[in-house]
Amino acid sequence: MATVADPEVATRDEPADPTGTSKRTDIQGLRAIAVALVVVYHLAPTTLTGGFVGVDVFFVVSGFLITSHLLLRRPSRPRHLLEFWGRRIRRLLPASLLVLLLTLVATRLVAPVTQWDVTARQSAAAATYWVNWLLASDSVDYLAAAAAPSPVQHFWSLSVEEQFYLGWPVLVLLLGQLAVITRVAGSLPRLRLLVLAGLGLVVALSLAWSVHLTDTDPARAYFVTTTRIWELGLGGLVAGFVVLREPPGRRLPPPVAAGAAWLGVAAIVTSGVAYSGATPFPGWQALVPVGGTALVLGAAAGTQIWSPGRILALPPLQWLGDISYSVYLWHWPLIVLVPAVSGDHLGALDKTAIVVATLVLAALTKRYVEDAFRTPAWSRRLARTYVLGAAAMAVVLAASALLVVNLHAREDAARRALARAQHSDDPCFGAGALVASRQCPPSQGDPVPAPVLAALDRSAAYQGSAGHRDCFASVPAYRTVRCVFGDRTAERTVVLVGNSHAGQWVPALHRIGRQQHWRVVTYLSSQCAMSDVRQQFETSEQATACLDWVHRVTAQVSAARPDLVVLANRVSLTAEGVDDLAHSAAPYEQGYEQVLRTWADQRLPVVVLRDTPAPGDGDVASVPDCLASNGDDFAACSGPRVDWVPVDPTVAAVAALDSPAVRLVDLNDHICGPAVCQAVVGGVVVYFDGSHLTATYNRTLSPFLEPHLVAAMDRRP
């Protein structure tokens, strides 16, 4: 998901021509186009699939205006840097911190409690301008990446810009000092060469890193500053050529300038229409919108009749460009939070209301907040700027902390309720309620774990508890990770293999292992299914790493010769070269059959657990979020079994193999009823997201799983 922060401006956000005094209306027009791209993309992503390039347009404009300002008023001592940063504080912090604070309040009032933690964490990171790194870290976490977006995650781009504003002036200052040391300051051509060479080196290094990381780790590459600096830096290079060119004020011939500007606008629009979420980004693909923006800025075509500047100078675009920063700040929290009031999905009326509210709030924020802190009186009070900026940040941090404290109090109460329920010896608790002979009543009252805790109710393989580190191999390298559960000193060993849908069985297997005196060893991965088939990851390197992990683990399990192998998987990626999951079933089946045959030939007993139902395959993206939003209306978070139970290629693979060493175990009748899969069964929340079983519910499945494992181990071929 792409978002946009407002670009820096020279003095009072009036984008002037660095070569003269005329206002650059084309820059305001570019801002309007950029923010329109982003807003339309967020409201209708299938209509404008590449609207996320709006952020790249803003980055280039930011770099252009910042560098123009720095080159015209080059900092030569620390005081100049403090003054520059003070202007940025006055320009950006009042509006952004106000929106963060009000978003935290709105989250507390209307958002489901399950979203409080991520909103509080990201708000604190956004207030201190490092939320892009937090999002980069979460993006490579399979479970975190699948979570619902927070209403403040759009601040990632503002964090990138603030980090640019922090380091770029220092670079310009150092280049100026280098010019003095090398005695080139008095020679404009040599000074220009030195400055542009220094800026160009940073741009080249960042672009190279962006291409590399986008190819190898695209989820992280999208957010980190190091892959984005070149976009702002390219705008800086354009500014360097404009400001430092000889003779001063020289322009391109009007026809050439107009042609370049039209080409630039075409590049921006084309990328907005043609790009999509499948486009590797940023990488070299970002050169199209970035280069297009640089062309418009460098051309400075003006408003001649043959120039796109006439269109960019239209009053509606100028007005939208003027308020673009506040439009950006307000639109995303409204998109995320309005459904908490109006319903799960945004309809046409909701989207229209969001656009109107965004424009009204943006106009008010521009006039009464942004402009209020850019007066001459504020400009003369540098110390006051820093003190009040820090105080405002502290207010947002305190509000984030209060939300977390409130959340933790609810979680503690939920843990106490869960502990009481687990020690009740109720035969209808959890999966036991689906045993027909017990005639258990429907679930009523407060479920356990409560929704606020259900999202955290994962096995120790995720949590790293009881001395365990993260037990999942993950992108980009898929290094082998091995963890031990159950009775660690036992002689008999059960190996659990697969992706996160194997990891969800750790609570049940740990309990069974302690009771049966089995040592449970896990070889788990995030997303990578244990099938000998190339899976369609974001990069070829990740696909290769996954397949290598499958081969490596298959061999290691064979070499270890455990007493029992348990295999479970969810297929969430298409097979390489196949368009959809339905047509991927056959390649996955063949890949599973190959793995299972390897173990069967070694005479290892194998139990294949049929994949469990997934609410996300229906229309419930997150069961805890749904329950938190719908109170005791559990039926609103349930769905037809036919929609939730996925097609599992392991079923066909086991049948095709037809080996006495390999048997299929299907426990889905202990998770769903004959026709409906409930979100709450026997008073227990079944899922901690839209796919994975809670640890609590999984433990209640252990009495139904244990006989199958015992039988498989006792009948070892």
Report the CATH number that the domain containing residue 497 is assigned in CATH: 3.40.50
**Residue 665 is assigned to a structural domain of this protein:** no
Interior angle at CA 698, CA 679 and CA 432, nearest 5: 70
**Residue 370 is assigned to a structural domain of this protein:** yes
- Between residues 110 and 244, the one the model is more confident about: 110
Total domains in the chain come to 2
**Residue 639 is assigned to a structural domain of this protein:** no
Question: What's the CA gap between 424 and 578, in Å, rounded?
Answer: 50
Neighbours of 197 (CB within 10 A): 11
At 127-179, the pLDDT tens digits run 999 999 999 988 766 566 566 789 999 999 999 999 999 999 999 888 877 77
Buried b / exposed e across 470-482, counting CB within 10 Å, b at 16+?
Answer: ebbbbbbebeebe
Residue 635 has a pLDDT of 92
**Residue 592 is assigned to a structural domain of this protein:** yes
Residue 14 has a pLDDT of 46
For 86, half-sphere exposure in the C-beta direction (CA atoms, 13 angstrom radius) is: 20
Residue 334 has a pLDDT of 97
Residue 3 has a pLDDT of 38
* DSSP per-residue string spanning 441-483: PPP-SS-BS-HHHHTT---HHHH--TT----EE-TTT----EE
Which of 402, 435, 451 delimits the end of a domain?
402
pLDDT at 467 exceeding the cut of 70 = no
Average pLDDT over residues 706-716: 88
Question: What average pLDDT does the chain have?
Answer: 90
Average pLDDT over residues 676-691: 95
Give the confidence band of 655 by pLDDT, cuts at 50, 70, 90.
Answer: very high
Question: What's the CA gap between 60 and 54, in Å, rounded?
Answer: 10
Give the confidence band of 10 by pLDDT, cuts at 50, 70, 90.
Answer: very low
- Token readout for 594 is 């190959």
By C-alpha distance, which of 685, 709, 710 is closest to 698?
Answer: 685
Question: What's the CA gap between 607 and 661, in Å, rounded?
Answer: 8
Question: What's the CA gap between 375 and 381, in Å, rounded?
Answer: 11
Which of 352, 369, 402 delimits the end of a domain?
402
Helix (H, G, I), strand (E, B), or coil: what is residue 386? helix
- Token readout for 581 is 């999951």
CA 135 to chain centre: 6
pLDDT at 30 exceeding the cut of 50 = yes
- Token readout for 632 is 């005791």
Residue 12 has a pLDDT of 35
Average pLDDT over residues 43-60: 96
Residue 268 has a pLDDT of 97
pLDDT at 465 exceeding the cut of 70 = no
- Domain check: are 398 and 467 in the same one? no
- Domain check: are 207 and 349 in the same one? yes
- Domain check: are 209 and 88 in the same one? yes
Q: What is the CA radius of gyration of the chain?
A: 29
- Domain check: are 396 and 509 in the same one? no
**Residue 467 is assigned to a structural domain of this protein:** yes
pLDDT at 17 exceeding the cut of 80 = no
Average pLDDT over residues 285-297: 97
Q: What percent of the chain has pLDDT over 90?
A: 72
Question: What's the CA gap between 190 and 704, in Å, rounded?
Answer: 79
- Residue type present at position 447: P
- Domain check: are 375 and 299 in the same one? yes
Domain that holds residue 473: 463-607+649-656
**Residue 183 is assigned to a structural domain of this protein:** yes
Question: What's the CA gap between 91 and 88, in Å, rounded?
Answer: 5
Q: What percent of the chain has pLDDT over 70?
A: 91
- Domain check: are 236 and 332 in the same one? yes
- Domain check: are 30 and 131 in the same one? yes
pLDDT at 399 exceeding the cut of 80 = yes
- Between residues 476 and 122, the one the model is more confident about: 122
CB 172 within 8 A of CB 75: yes
**Residue 3 is assigned to a structural domain of this protein:** no
- Domain check: are 359 and 256 in the same one? yes
At 224-234, the pLDDT tens digits run 999 999 999 99
- Residue type present at position 290: V
- Domain check: are 398 and 469 in the same one? no
- Domain check: are 392 and 497 in the same one? no
* DSSP per-residue string spanning 559-617: HH--SEEEEE----SPBTT-SSSGGGHHHHHHHHHHHHHHHHHTT--EEEEPPPP-GGG
**Residue 32 is assigned to a structural domain of this protein:** yes
- Token readout for 267 is 């590049």
- Between residues 549 and 618, the one the model is more confident about: 549
- Domain check: are 329 and 478 in the same one? no
Neighbours of 211 (CB within 10 A): 20
Residue 293 has a pLDDT of 97
Average pLDDT over residues 82-100: 93
Question: What's the CA gap between 386 and 378, in Å, rounded?
Answer: 11
pLDDT at 689 exceeding the cut of 80 = yes
At 402-416, the pLDDT tens digits run 999 999 999 999 999
Find the helix or strand (DSSP H, E) in which 415 lies. helix 382-422
Residue 33 has a pLDDT of 97
- Domain check: are 391 and 467 in the same one? no
Which of 376, 402, 428 delimits the end of a domain?
402
**Exposure of 351 by Cβ count < 10 A (0-12 exposed, 13-18 middle, 19+ buried)?**
middle
By C-alpha distance, which of 260, 63, 224 is closest to 132?
Answer: 224
